[in-house]
Amino acid sequence: MRLLTIGSGLRGAKIAEIMHKKGVKVNRVPLFKCFAVLNNEEHLRDISIGDNRKYYIHGMKGDVSGFVNQITSLYEIFEGSLVLTSLEDDFGYITSLELCKKLRKVTEDVVISLALVPQLDTSSIGEIKRRIRSLREVSDVLILFEGEVGVERKILELMNLVALAGEIDLKKRVAGEVVVDTSDVFNALKSDGFAIAGIAERKIPFNIKNFLFRRNSELKAIRTKRMLELTEEALQNVSINGDVEDAKSALLLFAGKPDELTMEGLFSSIAMIENLNRDIVVRYGDYPIPGSRKVSAVLIFSGIRKFRFA
């Protein structure tokens, strides 16, 4: 899944920067085409993205039409847009609204907003809720994360796995047991309300005998149990404290060495999610990474309307 990725405001630009540096590539092609929009010259200098991918806007609310026209005229393939911002950054928030409106008008692709929610005092809650509603209205999908220190790394790891959905590495020539494509991802996320996400990973213990004789590292039951534990961990460590029991849909993705993934583990994990809400629609799949020494799980709930502030 190739995403036009735009960081709006300083924290949004910082996320775009790390995705530019560490984002996944398939067949040597980056899946995130990263840009930054800022109104501070010093911030522009601090963001390590090529000069032709940084855009300056004067004042609090500038015209983004020139920027959007410039990037949409590039000879690059995008399957959707990802706008990154923080809800406590006035410029980032206001500009992200304008970017989403313009992108939906100019392109026919899905527009995803990913917003950081700050730690709040009581007087700020109403304004942040208003901003969430406004951003959701101009986006096809809104994903929320708590704006804690180090969240950029978590977003990178999660979005890297989501972007791999449906991709095929021509060198490895390996496809997943259950292939989920870009349309499946978008359909899973495009529910009313907003989305929250969790990720978990485990390292696979190295065993020299298994390596030499090319055996599975552990019993099938143990590998299945690991997948269930990863699903539970992702569920317990979602990006913001939302009411997942009321979610309309969910997306479950596993990634790792093919021999470490089991169909029993996948379907048992789906059952765990369905037990939270019998009406939830779960889309699922796996992405094989031959030679990987870890297994990862991504779980995204969408259609959520309530969350609790810390």
Check residue 102 and give its pLDDT. 93
Check residue 155 and give its pLDDT. 96
Q: With a cut of 70, list the residues of the chain below it in pLDDT.
A: 75, 120-123, 168-177, 206-218, 308-310
- CATH level 3 topology of 3-163: Rossmann fold (3.40.50)
The domains spanning 3-163 and 182-304 adopt the same CATH topology = no
Question: pLDDT for 68-90, tens place per residue?
Answer: 888 877 767 888 999 999 999 99
Check residue 280 and give its pLDDT. 93
- Listing DSSP states for 19-72 in one string gives HHHH--EETTEESEEEEEEES-HHHHHHS-S-GGGEEE--SSS---HHHHHHHH
Does the domain formed by 182-304 have CATH 3.30.1330.20?
A: yes
User: Of all residues in the chain, what percent carry a pLDDT higher than 90?
Assistant: 52
Evaluate whether 145 touches 154 at the Cβ level (below 8 Å).
yes
Check residue 97 and give its pLDDT. 95
Where do the domains of the chain lie? 3-163, 182-304
Distances (CA, A) of 88 to 118, 214, 260: 6, 51, 41
**Rounded mean pLDDT of the chain?**
87
Alpha-carbon gap, residue 175 to 287, rounded angstroms: 7
Residues belonging to the chain: 310
Alpha-carbon gap, residue 96 to 132, rounded angstroms: 12
Check residue 170 and give its pLDDT. 59
